[in-house]
Chains A and B, each alone.
Chain A
Amino acid sequence: DTAVSQTPKYLVTQMGNDKSIKCEQNLGHDTMYWYKQDSKKFLKIMFSYNNKELIINETVPNRFSPKSPDKAHLNLHINSLELGDSAVYFCASSRGNIQYFGAGTRLSVL
């Protein structure tokens, strides 16, 4: 069974649309994260939740809204998509300081 799973794996959409990416972990971890990897492969933290509570919110546009219905799930909703949102989005979870990553969602905004 996949430890951290993200859906969808690929997402192609038009500018201005709203889309969601889902993440689930079956590791029993309390903390989950969203990272963005740009076209130059640079990885940057976006959000972190601990036990459904937001603990890290980097400088991310308000169009991005994370939601954690329970500690095993952390979804990312993006409103009014822009060309610059094209990237690979990684979900991760951790207990202690080791983070386990999902396979990523490649978002292409046309």
Chain B
Amino acid sequence: AQSVTQLGSHVSVSEGALVLLRCNYSSSVPPYLFWYVQYPNQGLQLLLKYTSAATLVKGINGFEAEFKKSETSFHLTKPSAHMSDAAEYFCAVSENNQGGKLIFGQGTELSVKP
């Protein structure tokens, strides 16, 4: 069975600082991995996805994530936080490339201080 663990339910950074949100996965098959962002009172928006083409994946709004098979990790980073990055971030895994359910982590709330 697949699962996702996000370390830290709440991360707080200063504006301009590095953002690092951690995600570890468990999967018996090569995983498809995703990061979604949820702004207050909104639905989820895809930030980026890993589908085995490249281990370093660039997404929208300056975010990127690196797939590390040896560490079963897919951490999300952004070099410089902006106030508008404050939101809930979800890591998710899927077992196939043709749709099917997403298994989500618990979510990490990112706060950005001025």
- State the A residues within 8 Å of B (CB): 4, 31, 33, 40-45, 48, 50, 56, 58, 90, 92, 94-104
Contacts and interface: CB of A to CB of B under 8 A. Distances in A.
B45 A56 contact: no
B77 interface: no
Interface of B: 32, 34, 36, 38, 41-46, 49, 51, 88, 90, 94, 96-104, 106-107
A33 B107 CA distance: 20
Specify the main secondary structure of chain A where it touches its partner: strand
Contact of A41 (B97, B100, B103, B107): B107
Given A40-B106, A97-B94, A102 B100 contact: no
B102 A45 contact: yes
Contacts of B88: 41
Contacts of A99: 44, 46, 99, 102
